[in-house]
Structure formats: structure tokens, C-alpha cells
Amino acid sequence: MKTFLQRYRNPILLHFVILIWGFTGVLGKIISIDSGSIVLFRMGVAFCSLILFFFISGRKIQEERAKIIRYLATGFIIAAHWSFFFEALKVSTVSVTLTCLASTSLFVAFIEPLLFKRKVSTTEVVFGLLVVSGLLMVFNFENEFRLGIILSLISAFCAALFGTLNGLFIKNGSAFRISLYEMLGGVIGMLIYFALSGQISDIQYPTDIDWVYLLILGIICTAFAFVVSVEVMKTLTPFTVSISINMEPIYAIILALVFFGDSELMSGGFYGGALLIFLTVMANGVSKSPRGKKMIKKLRERWLA
């Protein structure tokens, strides 16, 4: 049992975090303030909770200046990702938004080789294309949510970019400090956006119940989940993390049906696409195992023979 937990600790932690992120869509839907304000307060709460953790644990927050700049800049990308994500939630549904985020893995299949300086993996591209095929099934059957789908795809690209960057950062950095400065960068980025767009006075402040949702969103769904998601990248590749995150729509659809009922019911084509995405995630997990690698190697040898 101990050996099993040691071997699969990070994959188990990752899927626990993905389940938490599935609940993010529900919270984003019921919080009454606009998407930009949600991101600002979400990242602010996450930053404050991480600062409190550093203070209680006695850990040092000092970091090299060059690293801090990189982390802060990545925080801008994360803020953009969540802004498009929450806006997509506002104009469509939880199910549509999170299913479209499945395209993140295809973006990572091309971004990761560039940043990690390795060849593009044919297997990863195939899995990414299967995910997009599932996405197209969703798109064809849910045309009324076209704007939400487009916003979700932009959010997915941002997720692929910052996820891959974190895969690089964690090699020589601390998941806690990376997350701390990225949350701070996101807050700064959102304030700059509001200031430059002349909307600083339009920031919407949470109501009493919104604060409860934002605390859950900022502490559990952001600070805790983000630190763990960065930490697991010590042993899992950005592509494996991103394609595993495609399980988020499955969890989210179940949660959304529980919380919102009939408003989240979709067409058969939508669920067909979601099933294809789910099966692709499972296939990726198998392909990364020793037995799966041998199987893929044999298939390649037969194909090229």
C-alpha cells in the first residue's frame, strides 16, 4: 500500500486538485460580480492566504530578482486566463466552458517542445487532436454558446502557456514562492488593466455571500490547488498535467447538474464529445506507463516496417 501511494502520490494529488477546479466553475457562475472583479479578488485572496502561510510556517519569501520578474509576468498570463474563463462562464454554461478548456492539451503539445527544447511528440499531437475532435463535437451541437466557446479557447491557450512555464520554473524553484509571486503578478496585472481601460472606478465589490464564495475560491480552489499543481510538475510533464486537467469538465458537469439542474443539460453530441475527451485522458495515462510505452513502440515499429 505504501509503495502504491509513493508511486502514484502525485497523480492522485493532481486529480484531487482537478476535482477542486471543477468546483471553480460552479463558484464562478454564482458569484454576482463581473469576471474581471472576480479574478482581482480571487488572486488577492490567494496571495494573502499564501503570505499568511509563509508567516505561520516561517518560510522565507526572498527570491532572486530575475525569478521574481518571471513569476510576476507569468501572473499576468494567469490573470488573463481566468478573466477569459470567468467571462465564458457568464455568457455560456459551466459544462461548455470547461469542456472547451480541453483544447489546452493540444496547445501544450506544441508549446512544451519549444520551451523544453525537445521534439514534438507524435503521440501527444494525436491525443491533442482527439481532444479537439471531442471539442468540435461540442461546438457543432452547441452553437448558441459560440462566444463562450471562443473565450474558452483563448483561456485554454493562456493556460497552456503558463502551465508550461511553471513546468520550467519548478525545476529550480519553490512551488510556494512561484505561486505567491504569480498571484501577486495577477493582482498587479488586473489593476493595470482596470486603470488603463478607465474602469478602476467600475470594480465591483463582493456582497457578504460573495465574500464567502471568494474565500473558498481564493484559498482552496486557488492558493492550495495552485501550489499542489505546480509541485506535481516535479515528476509529471506539463502535457500529462494539462491532458489530465481535461477531466475537469467531467467533474464540473456532474457538479453543475447537481447545483444548476436542467439549465446544464446538453445535447447528445455534447456528451459524446465529453466522452471522447475522457477516453483520451485515460489513453494518455496508459501511454505514459512502462507497458504503454512498449505498446506504442511496437505499434510504431509495425507501422514503419
**pLDDT for 79-135, tens place per residue?**
999 999 889 988 887 777 877 777 777 788 778 787 777 777 777 778 778 877 877
- Look at the alpha carbons of 135, 139, 144, 150 in this order and tell me if their dihedral is positive or negative: positive
Q: Which residues of the chain have pLDDT under 50?
A: none
User: For position 267, what pLDDT does the model report?
Assistant: 64
User: For position 151, what pLDDT does the model report?
Assistant: 92
Domain ranges of the chain: 12-304
User: For position 301, what pLDDT does the model report?
Assistant: 66
The grid cell for 67 is: 525569478
User: For position 211, what pLDDT does the model report?
Assistant: 93
Rounded to two decimals, the pTM is 0.78
Residue 174 phi/psi, 5° resolution? -100, 130
Picking from 179, 174, 166, the residue whose alpha carbon sits closest to that of residue 47 is: 179
SS3 33: coil
User: For position 4, what pLDDT does the model report?
Assistant: 54
Count of helices and strands (H, E) across the chain: 14, 0
